[in-house]
Amino acid sequence: MGTALVYHEDMTATRLLWDDPECEIECPERLTAVLDSLQQRGLEQRCLCLTACEASEEELGLVHSPEYIALVQRTQTLDKEELQALSKQFDAVYFHPSTFHCARLAVGAALQLVDAVLTGAVHNGLALVRPPGHHSQKTAANGFCVFNNVAIAAKHAKKKYGLQRILIVDWDIHHGQGIQYVFDDDPSVLYFSWHRYEHGHFWPFLQESDACAIGQGQGQGFTVNLPWNQVGMGNADYLAAFLHVLLPLAFEFDPELVLVSAGFDSAIGDPEGQMQATPECFAHLTQLLQVLAGGRICAVLEGGYHLESLGQSVCMMVQTLLGDPTPPLLGLMVPCQSALESIQSVQTAQAPHWTSLQQNVAPVLSPSTHLPEGRSLSLLAESSTCEVAEDAPSPLLDGVCLRPTPPVCTAVALTVPGAALALPPRVLHQEGSAMREETDAWARPHKSLFQDEGLDALGKILCLLSGILDGQVRSGVASTTPHATAATLDVAIHRCLSHGAQRLLCVALGQLDRPQDLADDGRILWLNIMGKEAAIWSMFHISTPLPQTTGGFLSCILGLVLPLAYGFQPDVVLMTLGPAHGLQNAEAALLAAVLRGPAGGRILALVEEESILQLESTLVQVLRGEAPPSLGPFLMASPEEIQALRFLKGQLEPRWKLLQVAALPPGQCSPVA
Ligand code: Q9C
Ligand code: ZN
């Protein structure tokens, strides 16, 4: 099992044969640049490389008309003038004598990838293709696209494997209107696209790209458009879109397969998109999608025209598909006002169709907080434009981030004999221990650690924690002895601080109080998920009840825990399952999987002995990058759960801007000028 790369070098053949400034950016070097970066970083070698074959006419016919297929076929024998004349009949398209062959290979590559994933040959993969596909339609080429690779792949997955729910995530910076048209009335395909829109002033200038286009008939609610109305959207904006729109819907939809229309013209440096998201952002977007559909992700290249940015972004995605931890996301984690408005417009348009959105909309500012002219007297004045913050990293394209993987991916330190019998590769069963004097010194304030095997367990945990802090080990799972979980966590926190950790995120489940002597200086973000009442002692000391429904649990993770965690940008995460933590296996796995993101994969899971036997192997799997098990059927959050979350979010929003989902009152979609 692993990651597939599907490719054929013939796809570099098609190219523009005449002068056309609009089309010249879709060039063969796009593919060679991507392949070079993958090779340079040793990533191609780690994938299962498959050679693409041409799709059959029957397969093309899943989306395209026989007449259109015949028209593209005839371009093989046209001369340059004829090709140019035909190209003019379409919007932003060029044909080349090799176009038909390349476009059939592109579809074939997407289908082979779906086959490899759905037969279980690989977990996930990427098809590197030209021409791209998401703009092409039943009877028309459009926007460099000839056949609709991803739409055909979705039809194929439905037909050949009987899939009933497929999610398509289109993160290319253009609206994939071709995909939208194919599945407009089809509730079995949830199509999500974000795109540069500028109130209809950006190509392809369509009213149906706006948020209020939600699908037709049975398909209402299964088209999700998030229009960006300004350029300059960055990591925080993309992350907010995933946490507050895409992921709540995706979990409620519960897809069996995720297809990604993976265009990287949404990344920094791209001349088309003019956005600011860094390549690392695509590692995080990928990792967030990996918790869906058992990790079955098929990505297919769409746009991406800045060769350096494209190469780096693809590497980030592939490395994440391979299971490596994500690099930290840099920059201010503050979504801009325009992004918040866009996000709210989608929430408003989609809310009638999705339980998770009806319940998740944050307290909308009351009318009195709006100035007469409709501008918000908002809490977010600091972030009212999308310009890059001055202290944001300089256009990172100079610094090549190699994301070295430590030899030991995950280590396990256990107190229970018999656990950890069969560990997967690159997982270390840690036997080593800290020096006895050191362990004693750390344990001294805690009586509970001197009982039973307490000191032995602590010695192992200290050794594992040193490994994580020094970078020899990426992540770990450790068990604590009975009644000693709180004391162990206390020692672990002080150990991290004494090592020089600048920011430490503690997510504590069950009966664990915040250690008494911790300074409230912003170095520790303490989040307790337990009990009945939501409570806030400071912006860094928060308690929220553990929801009892899947819907409530997801709202808590996506709407509260992750916005706080990404906003805090911790060096290390301590996730602790203490007494009476009440978490199901699948919930613990999901939490661990998503908490790998904010701290570059540096996470230690401390689990009380009682739970370790049933949790150990699942936690190890997700920390290595495998998908968590399904949470089971989606159950609506209870009113009490929603109320608690609303209260917390309202209180915390002034400090933690990724929590914000409401900006202006819902705007109506207006006709394109
Ligand atoms: N400056 C893909 O990315 N030209 N197609 C727009 C606006 C057409 C993009 C001109 C862009 C097509 C797959
Ligand atoms: Zn594009």
DSSP track, 520-549? -SSSEEEEEE-SS--EEEETTEEEE---SS
3-state secondary structure 458-504: HHHHHHHHHHHHHCCEEEEEEEECCCCHHHHHHHHHHHHHHHCCCCE
Structural domain harbouring 435: 409-658
Could you tell me if the CB of 25 is within 6 A of ligand 1?
no
Closest ligand by atom to 30 CA: 1
Q: Whose CA is nearest to atom 13 of ligand 1?
A: 303
In this structure, the answer to whether residues 283 and 418 fall within a common structural domain is no
Helices 609-623, 585-595: inter-axial angle, 10-degree rounding: 50
Instruction: Report yes or no on 515 lying in a domain.
Output: yes
Q: What SS3 class is residue 461? A: helix
Mean pLDDT of the 213-232 span: 98
Give 302 Cα–ligand 2 centroid separation in angstroms. Answer: 6
Count structural domains, the chain.
2
Could you tell me if the CB of 215 is within 6 A of ligand 1?
no
Mean pLDDT of the 103-118 span: 99
Highest mean pLDDT out of 287-296, 353-362, 383-392: 287-296
Burial 356-384 (b: 16+ CB within 10 A, else e): bbebbbbeebeeeeeeeeeebebebeebe
Instruction: State the first-to-last Cα distance of the chain, in angstroms, to the nearest integer.
Output: 51
- Let me know if 77 is exposed, middle or buried by CB neighbors in 10 A (0-12, 13-18, 19+): exposed
Contact call for residues 72 and 21 (beta carbons, < 8 A): no
Contact call for residues 134 and 307 (beta carbons, < 8 A): no
Q: Write down the pLDDT at residue 481.
A: 87
Give 205 Cα–ligand 2 centroid separation in angstroms. Answer: 14
Q: Given strand 541-544, what is the order of strands in its sheet? A: 427-429, 408-413, 473-480, 603-608, 572-577, 504-509, 524-529, 541-544, 535-538
In this structure, the answer to whether residues 520 and 455 fall within a common structural domain is yes
Q: Whose CA is nearest to atom 9 of ligand 1?
A: 143
Q: What is the pLDDT of residues 19-31, one digit of tens each?
A: 999 999 999 999 9
Which residue do the tokens 């392949």 mark? 35
* pLDDT over 90 (residue 404): no
* pLDDT over 50 (residue 387): no
Could you tell me if the CB of 304 is within 6 A of ligand 1?
no
d(CA 196, CA 203): 8
Q: Write down the pLDDT at residue 532.
A: 75
* pLDDT over 70 (residue 517): yes
Q: Which token pair is 638?
A: 């209870």
The residue whose CB lies within 8 Å of the most ligand 1 atoms, and thus the one to mutate among 14, 144, 301, 310, is 144
d(CA 117, CA 85): 40
Could you tell me if the CB of 222 is within 6 A of ligand 1?
no
Give 392 Cα–ligand 1 centroid separation in angstroms. Answer: 28
Q: Write down the pLDDT at residue 85.
A: 98
Q: 421 or 75, which is more confident?
A: 75
Give 86 Cα–ligand 2 centroid separation in angstroms. Answer: 22
* pLDDT over 90 (residue 662): no
Could you tell me if the CB of 194 is within 6 A of ligand 1?
no
Could you tell me if the CB of 131 is within 6 A of ligand 1?
no
Nearest atom (ligand 1) to Cα of 272 = 1
Q: Whose CA is nearest to atom 6 of ligand 1?
A: 203
Q: Write down the pLDDT at residue 476.
A: 94
Instruction: Report yes or no on 20 lying in a domain.
Output: no
In this structure, the answer to whether residues 452 and 392 fall within a common structural domain is no
Instruction: Report yes or no on 417 lying in a domain.
Output: yes
Side chain identity, residue 515: P
In this structure, the answer to whether residues 486 and 338 fall within a common structural domain is no
Q: What is the pLDDT of residues 558-600, one digit of tens each?
A: 999 999 999 999 999 999 999 999 999 999 999 999 999 999 9
In this structure, the answer to whether residues 393 and 413 fall within a common structural domain is no
Mean pLDDT of the 144-171 span: 99
Q: How confident is the model at residue 70 (pLDDT cuts 50, 70, 90)?
A: very high
Could you tell me if the CB of 256 is within 6 A of ligand 1?
no
d(CA 411, CA 467): 9
Closest CA to 147 of 225, 90, 78, 68: 68
Q: Write down the pLDDT at residue 405.
A: 61
Q: What is the pLDDT of residues 460-497, one digit of tens each?
A: 999 999 999 999 999 999 999 888 999 999 999 999 99
In this structure, the answer to whether residues 522 and 443 fall within a common structural domain is yes
* pLDDT over 90 (residue 671): no
Give 43 Cα–ligand 1 centroid separation in angstroms. Answer: 29
Distances (CA, A) of 41 to 46, 90, 401, 624, 626: 10, 39, 10, 20, 22
pTM of structure = 0.94
Poorest-pLDDT segment among 201-205, 233-237, 431-435:
431-435
Nearest atom (ligand 1) to Cα of 263 = 3
Q: Say if strands 524-529 and 541-544 run parallel, antiparallel, or are unpaired.
A: parallel
Instruction: Report yes or no on 666 lying in a domain.
Output: no
- Let me know if 438 is exposed, middle or buried by CB neighbors in 10 A (0-12, 13-18, 19+): middle
The residue whose CB lies within 8 Å of the most ligand 1 atoms, and thus the one to mutate among 14, 16, 22, 142, is 22
d(CA 325, CA 96): 41
Could you tell me if the CB of 174 is within 6 A of ligand 1?
yes
Instruction: Report yes or no on 462 lying in a domain.
Output: yes
* pLDDT over 50 (residue 367): no
d(CA 63, CA 120): 26
Give 134 Cα–ligand 1 centroid separation in angstroms. Answer: 11
Contact call for residues 603 and 573 (beta carbons, < 8 A): yes
Q: What SS3 class is residue 638? A: coil
Q: 398 or 335, which is more confident?
A: 335
d(CA 577, CA 477): 11
Give 496 Cα–ligand 2 centroid separation in angstroms. Answer: 44
Give 347 Cα–ligand 1 centroid separation in angstroms. Answer: 27
In this structure, the answer to whether residues 138 and 211 fall within a common structural domain is yes
In this structure, the answer to whether residues 643 and 605 fall within a common structural domain is yes
* pLDDT over 80 (residue 673): no
In this structure, the answer to whether residues 388 and 421 fall within a common structural domain is no
Contact call for residues 558 and 244 (beta carbons, < 8 A): yes
* pLDDT over 80 (residue 383): no
The residue whose CB lies within 8 Å of the most ligand 1 atoms, and thus the one to mutate among 14, 173, 272, is 272
Could you tell me if the CB of 26 is within 6 A of ligand 1?
no
Nearest atom (ligand 1) to Cα of 142 = 12
Q: Write down the pLDDT at residue 642.
A: 94
Contact call for residues 566 and 247 (beta carbons, < 8 A): no
Q: Please count the other Cβ atoms lying within 10 Å of the Cβ belonging to residue 500.
A: 8
Instruction: Report yes or no on 371 lying in a domain.
Output: no
Could you tell me if the CB of 22 is within 6 A of ligand 1?
yes
In this structure, the answer to whether residues 612 and 632 fall within a common structural domain is yes
Q: Write down the pLDDT at residue 630.
A: 95
Q: Write down the pLDDT at residue 596.
A: 96
Give 202 Cα–ligand 2 centroid separation in angstroms. Answer: 12
Domain at 556, CATH number: 3.40.800.20
Q: Write down the pLDDT at residue 210.
A: 98
Poorest-pLDDT segment among 377-386, 458-467, 546-555:
377-386
Could you tell me if the CB of 419 is within 6 A of ligand 1?
no
Give 440 Cα–ligand 2 centroid separation in angstroms. Answer: 59
Percent of the chain at pLDDT above 90?
A: 82
Q: How confident is the model at residue 531 (pLDDT cuts 50, 70, 90)?
A: confident
Half-sphere exposure in the Cβ direction for 279 (13 Å, CA): 29
Mean pLDDT of the 528-557 span: 94
* pLDDT over 60 (residue 363): no
Closest ligand by atom to 170 CA: 2
Q: What is the pLDDT of residues 182-204, one digit of tens each?
A: 999 999 999 999 999 999 999 99
Q: How confident is the model at residue 403 (pLDDT cuts 50, 70, 90)?
A: low
In this structure, the answer to whether residues 422 and 313 fall within a common structural domain is no
Could you tell me if the CB of 196 is within 6 A of ligand 1?
no
Q: Write down the pLDDT at residue 366.
A: 36
List, by residue number, the catalytic residues: 135
Instruction: Report yes or no on 606 lying in a domain.
Output: yes
Q: Whose CA is nearest to atom 5 of ligand 1?
A: 143
In this structure, the answer to whether residues 361 and 424 fall within a common structural domain is no
Contact call for residues 572 and 471 (beta carbons, < 8 A): no
Q: Whose CA is nearest to atom 1 of ligand 1?
A: 272
Closest ligand by atom to 21 CA: 1
Closest CA to 479 of 458, 509, 504, 496: 458
Q: Write down the pLDDT at residue 406.
A: 60
Instruction: Report yes or no on 356 lying in a domain.
Output: yes
Percent of the chain at pLDDT above 70?
A: 90
Mean pLDDT of the 515-536 span: 90
Nearest atom (ligand 1) to Cα of 22 = 4
Q: 371 or 536, which is more confident?
A: 536
Side chain identity, residue 507: V
Could you tell me if the CB of 265 is within 6 A of ligand 1?
yes
d(CA 42, CA 31): 17
Could you tell me if the CB of 270 is within 6 A of ligand 1?
no
Closest ligand by atom to 141 CA: 1
Mean pLDDT of the 208-234 span: 98
Q: What is the pLDDT of residues 119-145, one digit of tens each?
A: 999 999 999 999 999 999 999 999 999
Could you tell me if the CB of 303 is within 6 A of ligand 1?
yes
Nearest atom (ligand 1) to Cα of 172 = 3
Q: In the predicted model, what is the mean pLDDT of the chain?
A: 91
Q: How confident is the model at residue 388 (pLDDT cuts 50, 70, 90)?
A: very low
Q: What is the pLDDT of residues 243-283, one digit of tens each?
A: 999 999 999 999 999 999 999 999 999 999 999 999 999 99
